[in-house]
Homo-oligomer: A and B are copies of this chain.
Amino acid sequence: MSIEWKGIFPAITTKFTAADELDLPLFEKNLEVQLSAGVDGIILGGSLGEASTLTTAEKEVLTKFTVEKVAGRIPVVLGIAEGATREAINQAALAKKWGAAGLMLLPPMRYRSDDRETAAWYKTVAASTDLSIIVYNNPVDYKIEVTLDVFEQLQELPNIQAVKESTRDVSNVTRMISRFGDRFKILCGLDTLALEEIVLGAHGWVGGLVAAFPAETVAVYRLAKAGRIKEALDIYRWFLPLLELDLSAKLVQYIKLAEAEVGLGSEHVRAPRLTLTGAEREKVLQVIRTSVANRPTLPDYLSL
Q: How long is the Cα–Cα vector from A250 to B108 in the complex, in angstroms?
A: 14
Instruction: Known contacts A111-B249, A170-B193, A174-B240; decide if A84 and B199 are in contact (CB<8 Å).
Output: no
Closest to A201 in B: B233
Instruction: Known contacts A83-B53, A270-B84, A271-B121; decide if A250 and B170 are in contact (CB<8 Å).
Output: no
Contact partner of A84 (CB less than 8 A), chosen from B53, B121, B192, is B53
Instruction: Known contacts A110-B52, A233-B201; decide if A178 and B240 are in contact (CB<8 Å).
Output: yes
- Whether A86 is near chain B, meaning CB under 8 Å from some CB there, is yes
CB pair B272 A52 closer than 8 Å: no
Q: Inside 8 A of A84's CB, which chain B residues have their CB?
A: 52-54, 270-272
- Whether A69 is near chain B, meaning CB under 8 Å from some CB there, is no
Q: How long is the Cα–Cα vector from A113 to B47 in the complex, in angstroms?
A: 13
CB pair B196 A170 closer than 8 Å: yes
Best-buried of A196, A229, A240 by chain B (most CB within 10 Å): A196
CB pair B174 A85 closer than 8 Å: no
Closest to A54 in B: B84
Q: Which of A97-117 contact B (CB under 8 A)?
A: 108-114, 116-117
Return the CB mask of A227-245 against B: 1 if under 8 Å, else 0: 1010001001100100010
Contact partner of A196 (CB less than 8 A), chosen from B86, B116, B118, B199, is B199
Least CB distance from A19 to B in Å reads 13
Best-buried of A53, A81, A121 by chain B (most CB within 10 Å): A53
Least CB distance from A178 to B in Å reads 6
Least CB distance from A264 to B in Å reads 23
Q: How long is the Cα–Cα vector from A237 to B199 in the complex, in angstroms?
A: 12
Least CB distance from A69 to B in Å reads 26
Contact partner of A53 (CB less than 8 A), chosen from B53, B86, B200, is B86
Shortest Cβ-Cβ A-B pairs, 5 listed: A52-B83, A85-B271, A112-B249, A53-B84, A52-B110
A-B pairs with beta carbons under 8 Å apart, 13 shown? A47-B110, A52-B83, A53-B86, A53-B87, A84-B272, A85-B271, A111-B249, A114-B250, A117-B274, A170-B196, A171-B193, A171-B240, A227-B229
